Structure 1
Amino acid sequence: MAVNVNNAFVGTPPIDGGVFFRAPQGTDLPTDSLEALDPAFADHGAVGENGVTVAQTRDNTDIKMYGGKTFLNVQTSYDEQVTITLLEDDNEAVLRTAFGDANVEITPATTTAGTKKVIYHTADPLPISSFVIDSISGSKTKRYVIENGQVVNVAEIVDVHNNVTSRTITVKTYAPNSLELRGGNVVEYRDDGRFAPATP
Protein backbone atom coordinates (compact mmCIF):
# COMPACT_ATOMS: atom_id res chain seq x y z
CA MET A 1 0.00 0.00 0.00
CA ALA A 2 1.36 3.42 -0.95
CA VAL A 3 2.14 6.02 1.68
CA ASN A 4 -0.49 8.77 1.77
CA VAL A 5 0.39 11.89 3.77
CA ASN A 6 -3.24 13.01 3.48
CA ASN A 7 -4.11 10.30 6.01
CA ALA A 8 -2.11 12.06 8.74
CA PHE A 9 -3.81 13.97 11.55
CA VAL A 10 -1.86 16.75 13.27
CA GLY A 11 -4.00 17.91 16.15
CA THR A 12 -4.51 21.64 16.66
CA PRO A 13 -7.25 23.67 18.37
CA PRO A 14 -10.30 24.60 16.30
CA ILE A 15 -10.32 28.09 14.82
CA ASP A 16 -12.42 29.45 17.69
CA GLY A 17 -9.97 27.90 20.19
CA GLY A 18 -12.53 25.74 22.00
CA VAL A 19 -11.06 22.33 22.82
CA PHE A 20 -12.39 20.99 26.14
CA PHE A 21 -16.02 21.28 27.28
CA ARG A 22 -18.04 19.95 30.23
CA ALA A 23 -21.79 19.82 30.83
CA PRO A 24 -24.11 18.21 33.40
CA GLN A 25 -25.19 14.62 32.83
CA GLY A 26 -28.27 14.48 30.64
CA THR A 27 -27.21 17.33 28.35
CA ASP A 28 -27.88 16.60 24.67
CA LEU A 29 -24.74 15.16 23.08
CA PRO A 30 -23.47 15.92 19.57
CA THR A 31 -23.70 13.10 17.05
CA ASP A 32 -20.88 14.15 14.72
CA SER A 33 -17.71 16.26 14.72
CA LEU A 34 -19.33 19.42 13.31
CA GLU A 35 -22.61 19.76 15.19
CA ALA A 36 -22.92 22.86 17.40
CA LEU A 37 -22.70 22.01 21.09
CA ASP A 38 -25.55 22.48 23.53
CA PRO A 39 -24.97 25.79 25.36
CA ALA A 40 -24.69 23.85 28.62
CA PHE A 41 -21.20 22.70 27.54
CA ALA A 42 -18.79 25.14 29.19
CA ASP A 43 -15.61 26.04 27.28
CA HIS A 44 -12.42 25.65 29.35
CA GLY A 45 -10.26 27.88 27.16
CA ALA A 46 -6.60 27.36 26.30
CA VAL A 47 -5.03 23.90 26.55
CA GLY A 48 -1.36 23.08 27.17
CA GLU A 49 1.05 22.25 24.37
CA ASN A 50 0.86 18.50 25.05
CA GLY A 51 -2.72 18.50 23.80
CA VAL A 52 -5.04 15.67 24.75
CA THR A 53 -4.07 12.18 25.87
CA VAL A 54 -6.66 9.40 25.50
CA ALA A 55 -5.43 6.21 27.17
CA GLN A 56 -7.08 2.79 26.87
CA THR A 57 -6.04 0.08 29.32
CA ARG A 58 -6.82 -3.60 28.84
CA ASP A 59 -5.78 -6.09 31.51
CA ASN A 60 -5.43 -9.70 30.42
CA THR A 61 -4.63 -13.05 31.95
CA ASP A 62 -3.54 -16.37 30.49
CA ILE A 63 -5.67 -19.44 31.13
CA LYS A 64 -3.23 -22.33 31.47
CA MET A 65 -3.71 -25.95 30.50
CA TYR A 66 -2.47 -28.95 32.34
CA GLY A 67 1.21 -29.05 31.43
CA GLY A 68 1.69 -25.27 31.53
CA LYS A 69 0.84 -24.16 28.01
CA THR A 70 -1.51 -21.24 27.41
CA PHE A 71 -5.00 -22.35 26.47
CA LEU A 72 -6.47 -18.87 25.97
CA ASN A 73 -5.82 -15.27 26.92
CA VAL A 74 -8.87 -13.51 28.36
CA GLN A 75 -9.46 -9.83 28.98
CA THR A 76 -10.18 -9.18 32.66
CA SER A 77 -10.78 -5.43 32.66
CA TYR A 78 -11.03 -2.36 30.46
CA ASP A 79 -10.48 1.27 31.38
CA GLU A 80 -10.19 4.53 29.45
CA GLN A 81 -9.18 7.95 30.67
CA VAL A 82 -8.37 11.37 29.27
CA THR A 83 -5.63 13.70 30.49
CA ILE A 84 -5.44 17.39 29.56
CA THR A 85 -3.74 20.51 30.89
CA LEU A 86 -5.92 23.60 31.27
CA LEU A 87 -4.04 26.91 31.17
CA GLU A 88 -6.69 29.46 32.15
CA ASP A 89 -6.61 29.41 35.94
CA ASP A 90 -9.18 32.22 36.26
CA ASN A 91 -11.65 30.55 33.87
CA GLU A 92 -14.82 29.76 35.84
CA ALA A 93 -15.36 26.47 34.00
CA VAL A 94 -11.82 25.31 34.84
CA LEU A 95 -12.31 26.04 38.53
CA ARG A 96 -15.70 24.32 38.70
CA THR A 97 -14.33 21.24 36.91
CA ALA A 98 -11.27 21.03 39.17
CA PHE A 99 -12.99 21.69 42.50
CA GLY A 100 -16.71 20.95 41.98
CA ASP A 101 -19.54 23.29 41.05
CA ALA A 102 -20.69 23.74 44.65
CA ASN A 103 -17.18 24.59 45.84
CA VAL A 104 -16.73 27.70 43.69
CA GLU A 105 -18.48 30.93 44.67
CA ILE A 106 -18.26 33.97 42.40
CA THR A 107 -19.32 37.50 43.23
CA PRO A 108 -19.57 39.85 40.22
CA ALA A 109 -17.48 43.00 40.07
CA THR A 110 -18.87 46.24 41.47
CA THR A 111 -17.84 49.85 41.07
CA THR A 112 -15.55 49.46 44.08
CA ALA A 113 -14.23 45.89 43.78
CA GLY A 114 -13.30 43.34 41.13
CA THR A 115 -14.87 39.93 40.60
CA LYS A 116 -14.34 37.86 43.73
CA LYS A 117 -13.91 34.09 43.82
CA VAL A 118 -13.94 31.76 46.83
CA ILE A 119 -12.76 28.20 46.12
CA TYR A 120 -13.18 25.47 48.74
CA HIS A 121 -10.64 22.63 48.56
CA THR A 122 -12.73 19.73 49.89
CA ALA A 123 -12.56 15.94 49.87
CA ASP A 124 -15.91 15.67 48.08
CA PRO A 125 -15.81 13.44 44.97
CA LEU A 126 -16.21 15.43 41.77
CA PRO A 127 -19.46 14.86 39.85
CA ILE A 128 -19.98 12.56 36.91
CA SER A 129 -20.44 14.85 33.90
CA SER A 130 -20.44 14.80 30.11
CA PHE A 131 -17.37 15.97 28.18
CA VAL A 132 -16.54 16.93 24.59
CA ILE A 133 -13.01 17.40 23.21
CA ASP A 134 -12.41 18.97 19.78
CA SER A 135 -9.37 19.09 17.51
CA ILE A 136 -8.75 19.93 13.86
CA SER A 137 -6.08 19.15 11.29
CA GLY A 138 -6.51 21.42 8.29
CA SER A 139 -10.01 20.69 7.00
CA LYS A 140 -10.30 17.55 9.14
CA THR A 141 -12.22 17.57 12.42
CA LYS A 142 -12.06 15.12 15.31
CA ARG A 143 -14.34 15.06 18.34
CA TYR A 144 -14.30 12.83 21.43
CA VAL A 145 -17.64 12.56 23.25
CA ILE A 146 -17.87 11.18 26.79
CA GLU A 147 -21.37 10.77 28.15
CA ASN A 148 -20.22 9.71 31.62
CA GLY A 149 -16.86 10.93 32.87
CA GLN A 150 -15.45 11.99 36.23
CA VAL A 151 -12.39 14.03 37.14
CA VAL A 152 -10.45 11.66 39.41
CA ASN A 153 -7.13 13.49 39.61
CA VAL A 154 -5.87 17.06 39.49
CA ALA A 155 -2.07 17.24 39.35
CA GLU A 156 -0.18 19.43 41.79
CA ILE A 157 -0.62 23.15 41.26
CA VAL A 158 2.45 25.36 41.00
CA ASP A 159 2.34 29.14 41.31
CA VAL A 160 5.68 30.34 39.96
CA HIS A 161 7.08 33.52 38.41
CA ASN A 162 8.14 31.96 35.07
CA ASN A 163 5.03 30.01 34.08
CA VAL A 164 1.25 30.22 34.20
CA THR A 165 -0.69 28.39 36.87
CA SER A 166 -2.19 25.38 35.10
CA ARG A 167 -4.32 22.41 36.05
CA THR A 168 -3.68 18.98 34.57
CA ILE A 169 -6.78 16.88 35.08
CA THR A 170 -7.53 13.22 34.49
CA VAL A 171 -11.05 12.22 33.47
CA LYS A 172 -12.02 8.60 34.11
CA THR A 173 -14.68 7.42 31.67
CA TYR A 174 -17.58 5.07 32.29
CA ALA A 175 -19.97 3.14 30.07
CA PRO A 176 -22.68 5.34 28.52
CA ASN A 177 -26.40 5.21 29.24
CA SER A 178 -27.42 5.95 25.64
CA LEU A 179 -27.91 2.85 23.51
CA GLU A 180 -26.84 4.71 20.36
CA LEU A 181 -23.32 5.08 21.81
CA ARG A 182 -23.02 1.26 21.66
CA GLY A 183 -21.24 0.88 24.97
CA GLY A 184 -18.41 3.27 24.09
CA ASN A 185 -16.88 4.96 27.12
CA VAL A 186 -15.52 7.41 24.56
CA VAL A 187 -17.08 7.86 21.12
CA GLU A 188 -14.89 9.43 18.44
CA TYR A 189 -16.39 11.33 15.53
CA ARG A 190 -14.36 12.39 12.49
CA ASP A 191 -14.94 14.30 9.25
CA ASP A 192 -12.17 14.54 6.65
CA GLY A 193 -13.59 17.72 5.12
CA ARG A 194 -13.36 16.38 1.58
CA PHE A 195 -16.67 16.61 -0.23
CA ALA A 196 -17.72 14.11 -2.87
CA PRO A 197 -17.84 15.59 -6.40
CA ALA A 198 -21.23 16.81 -7.51
CA THR A 199 -23.00 14.48 -9.88
CA PRO A 200 -23.84 15.98 -13.29
Structure 2
Amino acid sequence: MAVNVMNAFVGRPPIDGGVFYRGPIGATLPTDATALPGSEFEDHGAVGPDGVNITQNRTSTDEKMFGGGTFIDLQTEYDETIEITLLEDDNDAVLKTSFGDANVVKTEATSSDGTKRVIYHTDEQLPISSFVARTAYGSKKKTYVVERGRVTSVTTTPDAHGATTKRTVTIKTFPPVSTELRGGNVVEYRDDGAPLVSGGEG
Protein backbone atom coordinates (compact mmCIF):
# COMPACT_ATOMS: atom_id res chain seq x y z
CA MET A 1 0.00 0.00 0.00
CA ALA A 2 1.37 3.40 -0.95
CA VAL A 3 2.16 5.88 1.80
CA ASN A 4 -0.01 9.01 1.75
CA VAL A 5 1.21 11.81 4.00
CA MET A 6 -2.06 13.64 3.36
CA ASN A 7 -3.71 11.13 5.70
CA ALA A 8 -1.68 12.46 8.65
CA PHE A 9 -3.25 14.48 11.45
CA VAL A 10 -1.16 16.63 13.80
CA GLY A 11 -3.44 18.04 16.46
CA ARG A 12 -3.48 21.78 17.11
CA PRO A 13 -6.00 24.20 18.58
CA PRO A 14 -8.64 25.41 16.11
CA ILE A 15 -8.11 28.86 14.64
CA ASP A 16 -10.45 30.41 17.24
CA GLY A 17 -8.44 28.75 20.03
CA GLY A 18 -11.41 26.97 21.65
CA VAL A 19 -10.36 23.42 22.54
CA PHE A 20 -12.25 22.18 25.62
CA TYR A 21 -15.77 22.99 26.80
CA ARG A 22 -18.18 21.82 29.51
CA GLY A 23 -21.94 22.39 29.55
CA PRO A 24 -25.00 21.17 31.42
CA ILE A 25 -26.90 18.04 30.44
CA GLY A 26 -29.31 19.03 27.68
CA ALA A 27 -27.01 21.68 26.22
CA THR A 28 -26.81 21.93 22.41
CA LEU A 29 -24.14 19.53 21.14
CA PRO A 30 -22.23 19.91 17.87
CA THR A 31 -23.43 17.55 15.15
CA ASP A 32 -20.39 17.78 12.88
CA ALA A 33 -16.71 18.67 13.04
CA THR A 34 -17.15 22.32 12.10
CA ALA A 35 -20.01 23.29 14.43
CA LEU A 36 -19.35 25.10 17.70
CA PRO A 37 -20.96 23.90 20.93
CA GLY A 38 -24.04 25.78 22.14
CA SER A 39 -23.85 28.95 24.20
CA GLU A 40 -24.47 26.92 27.38
CA PHE A 41 -20.92 25.55 27.13
CA GLU A 42 -17.97 27.32 28.76
CA ASP A 43 -14.56 27.53 27.10
CA HIS A 44 -11.69 26.45 29.37
CA GLY A 45 -8.97 28.40 27.56
CA ALA A 46 -5.45 27.14 26.94
CA VAL A 47 -4.66 23.45 27.31
CA GLY A 48 -1.34 21.69 27.80
CA PRO A 49 0.97 20.42 25.03
CA ASP A 50 -0.31 16.84 25.31
CA GLY A 51 -3.62 18.00 23.86
CA VAL A 52 -6.69 15.77 24.09
CA ASN A 53 -5.98 12.20 25.22
CA ILE A 54 -8.81 9.68 24.74
CA THR A 55 -8.39 6.14 26.05
CA GLN A 56 -10.64 3.14 25.38
CA ASN A 57 -10.38 0.30 27.88
CA ARG A 58 -11.82 -3.15 27.16
CA THR A 59 -11.68 -6.11 29.54
CA SER A 60 -12.48 -9.64 28.41
CA THR A 61 -12.37 -13.18 29.73
CA ASP A 62 -11.97 -16.41 27.79
CA GLU A 63 -14.66 -19.07 27.89
CA LYS A 64 -13.01 -22.46 27.74
CA MET A 65 -14.18 -25.63 26.05
CA PHE A 66 -13.61 -29.31 26.64
CA GLY A 67 -9.93 -29.99 26.22
CA GLY A 68 -8.83 -26.62 27.59
CA GLY A 69 -8.86 -24.51 24.45
CA THR A 70 -10.53 -21.12 24.16
CA PHE A 71 -14.03 -21.27 22.70
CA ILE A 72 -14.72 -17.51 22.67
CA ASP A 73 -13.62 -14.34 24.39
CA LEU A 74 -16.33 -12.46 26.30
CA GLN A 75 -16.09 -8.70 26.75
CA THR A 76 -16.90 -7.99 30.39
CA GLU A 77 -16.15 -4.26 30.66
CA TYR A 78 -15.87 -1.20 28.45
CA ASP A 79 -14.71 2.20 29.65
CA GLU A 80 -13.63 5.36 27.86
CA THR A 81 -11.88 8.32 29.45
CA ILE A 82 -10.65 11.73 28.34
CA GLU A 83 -7.62 13.40 29.91
CA ILE A 84 -6.67 17.02 29.34
CA THR A 85 -4.44 19.52 31.12
CA LEU A 86 -5.92 22.96 31.74
CA LEU A 87 -3.42 25.82 32.00
CA GLU A 88 -5.51 28.84 33.04
CA ASP A 89 -5.59 28.77 36.84
CA ASP A 90 -7.87 31.82 37.19
CA ASN A 91 -10.33 30.73 34.47
CA ASP A 92 -13.75 30.38 36.14
CA ALA A 93 -14.72 27.45 33.89
CA VAL A 94 -11.56 25.57 34.88
CA LEU A 95 -12.23 26.15 38.57
CA LYS A 96 -15.90 25.12 38.38
CA THR A 97 -15.06 21.97 36.43
CA SER A 98 -12.38 21.07 39.00
CA PHE A 99 -14.27 21.86 42.22
CA GLY A 100 -17.99 22.06 41.34
CA ASP A 101 -20.10 24.99 40.19
CA ALA A 102 -21.45 25.83 43.64
CA ASN A 103 -18.02 25.59 45.25
CA VAL A 104 -16.53 28.56 43.39
CA VAL A 105 -17.79 31.91 44.69
CA LYS A 106 -16.61 34.98 42.79
CA THR A 107 -16.81 38.63 43.78
CA GLU A 108 -16.13 41.07 40.97
CA ALA A 109 -13.48 43.76 41.30
CA THR A 110 -14.40 47.15 42.73
CA SER A 111 -12.63 50.50 42.84
CA SER A 112 -10.87 49.39 46.01
CA ASP A 113 -10.42 45.61 45.60
CA GLY A 114 -9.51 43.16 42.89
CA THR A 115 -11.59 40.16 41.81
CA LYS A 116 -11.95 37.73 44.69
CA ARG A 117 -12.75 34.04 44.65
CA VAL A 118 -13.46 31.58 47.42
CA ILE A 119 -13.01 27.93 46.39
CA TYR A 120 -14.37 25.19 48.65
CA HIS A 121 -12.49 21.88 48.42
CA THR A 122 -15.19 19.34 49.33
CA ASP A 123 -15.77 15.60 48.94
CA GLU A 124 -18.95 16.21 46.96
CA GLN A 125 -19.04 14.17 43.74
CA LEU A 126 -18.74 16.35 40.65
CA PRO A 127 -21.82 16.50 38.40
CA ILE A 128 -22.50 14.58 35.23
CA SER A 129 -22.06 17.10 32.42
CA SER A 130 -21.62 17.31 28.65
CA PHE A 131 -18.15 17.90 27.19
CA VAL A 132 -16.76 18.95 23.81
CA ALA A 133 -13.13 18.88 22.63
CA ARG A 134 -11.96 20.35 19.32
CA THR A 135 -8.69 20.01 17.37
CA ALA A 136 -7.53 21.00 13.90
CA TYR A 137 -4.73 20.37 11.40
CA GLY A 138 -4.79 22.90 8.61
CA SER A 139 -8.20 22.55 6.97
CA LYS A 140 -8.86 19.24 8.75
CA LYS A 141 -10.98 19.29 11.90
CA LYS A 142 -11.97 16.87 14.65
CA THR A 143 -14.62 17.38 17.30
CA TYR A 144 -15.21 14.97 20.17
CA VAL A 145 -18.63 15.04 21.84
CA VAL A 146 -19.52 13.50 25.20
CA GLU A 147 -23.20 13.79 26.04
CA ARG A 148 -22.71 12.38 29.56
CA GLY A 149 -19.44 12.38 31.48
CA ARG A 150 -18.06 13.13 34.91
CA VAL A 151 -14.73 14.50 36.11
CA THR A 152 -13.39 11.73 38.34
CA SER A 153 -9.84 12.92 38.93
CA VAL A 154 -8.09 16.30 39.14
CA THR A 155 -4.31 16.45 39.52
CA THR A 156 -2.96 19.88 40.37
CA THR A 157 0.68 20.87 40.00
CA PRO A 158 2.35 22.77 42.84
CA ASP A 159 2.24 26.54 43.21
CA ALA A 160 5.94 26.93 42.48
CA HIS A 161 8.23 29.50 40.90
CA GLY A 162 9.43 27.19 38.11
CA ALA A 163 6.12 26.59 36.29
CA THR A 164 2.51 27.70 36.15
CA THR A 165 -0.13 26.01 38.26
CA LYS A 166 -2.14 23.68 36.05
CA ARG A 167 -4.81 21.00 36.44
CA THR A 168 -5.07 17.67 34.62
CA VAL A 169 -8.64 16.43 34.62
CA THR A 170 -9.81 12.90 33.82
CA ILE A 171 -13.37 12.49 32.56
CA LYS A 172 -15.20 9.17 32.78
CA THR A 173 -17.72 8.86 29.96
CA PHE A 174 -21.11 7.14 29.97
CA PRO A 175 -23.41 5.93 27.17
CA PRO A 176 -25.60 8.73 25.80
CA VAL A 177 -29.36 9.04 26.09
CA SER A 178 -29.82 10.57 22.62
CA THR A 179 -30.51 7.82 20.09
CA GLU A 180 -28.78 9.75 17.29
CA LEU A 181 -25.46 9.28 19.11
CA ARG A 182 -25.89 5.51 18.63
CA GLY A 183 -24.60 4.50 22.06
CA GLY A 184 -21.25 6.24 21.67
CA ASN A 185 -19.70 7.26 24.99
CA VAL A 186 -17.60 9.56 22.80
CA VAL A 187 -18.73 10.56 19.31
CA GLU A 188 -15.94 11.76 17.04
CA TYR A 189 -16.79 14.00 14.10
CA ARG A 190 -14.19 14.58 11.36
CA ASP A 191 -14.00 16.86 8.32
CA ASP A 192 -11.02 16.70 5.97
CA GLY A 193 -11.72 20.20 4.65
CA ALA A 194 -11.40 19.11 1.02
CA PRO A 195 -14.72 19.45 -0.82
CA LEU A 196 -15.01 17.99 -4.29
CA VAL A 197 -14.27 20.40 -7.13
CA SER A 198 -16.68 20.05 -10.04
CA GLY A 199 -15.02 19.78 -13.41
CA GLY A 200 -15.88 22.48 -15.94
CA GLU A 201 -17.19 21.81 -19.42
CA GLY A 202 -14.57 21.25 -22.10
Pairwise TM-score range, normalised by the shorter structure: over 0.9
Deviation larger for 49-58 or 152-161: 152-161
Match of 2:11 in 1: 11
Counterpart residue identity of residue 97, structure 2: T
Deviation of 1:157 after TM superposition, in Å, equals: 3.3
Q: Distance in 1 between the 2:37 and 2:77 partners?
A: 32
Q: What is the TM-score with the length of structure 2 in the denominator?
A: 0.97
Q: Distance in 1 between the 2:132 and 2:10 partners?
A: 19
- Structure 1 gap ranges (5+): none
Match of 2:62 in 1: 62
Deviation larger for 66-75 or 5-14: 66-75
Match of 2:128 in 1: 128
Match of 2:33 in 1: 33
- Structure 2 gap ranges (5+): none
User: Is 1:177 the equivalent of 2:173?
Assistant: no
Match of 1:187 in 2: 187
Q: What is the TM-score with the length of structure 1 in the denominator?
A: 0.98
Deviation of 1:127 after TM superposition, in Å, equals: 0.3
Give the count of matched residue pairs: 200
Alignment of 1:99-118 (within 5 A): 99-118=99-118
User: Is 1:50 the equivalent of 2:39?
Assistant: no
* CA deviation profile, 1:112-137 (whole Å, cap 9, x unmatched): 00110000000000000000000001
Q: Secondary structure at the match of 1:195?
A: coil
- The CA RMSD measured in Å over matched residues stands at 0.8
List 4+ stretches of structure 1 deviating above 6 A. Answer: none
Match of 2:155 in 1: 155
Q: Distance in 2 between the 1:92 and 1:156 partners?
A: 16
Q: Secondary structure at the match of 1:155?
A: strand
Q: Secondary structure at the match of 1:172?
A: strand
Deviation of 1:199 after TM superposition, in Å, equals: 5.0
Q: Distance in 2 between the 1:83 and 1:158 partners?
A: 19
Counterpart residue identity of residue 122, structure 2: T
Q: Secondary structure at the match of 2:61?
A: strand
User: Is 1:95 the equivalent of 2:95?
Assistant: yes
Q: Distance in 2 between the 1:71 and 1:97 partners?
A: 45
Is 2:139–2:193's contact at 8 Å kept on the other side of the alignment?
yes
* CA deviation profile, 1:10-47 (whole Å, cap 9, x unmatched): 00011121100000000011100111321111000000
* CA deviation profile, 1:129-164 (whole Å, cap 9, x unmatched): 000000001110000000001000001431110100
Deviation larger for 64-73 or 168-177: 64-73
Q: Secondary structure at the match of 2:52?
A: strand
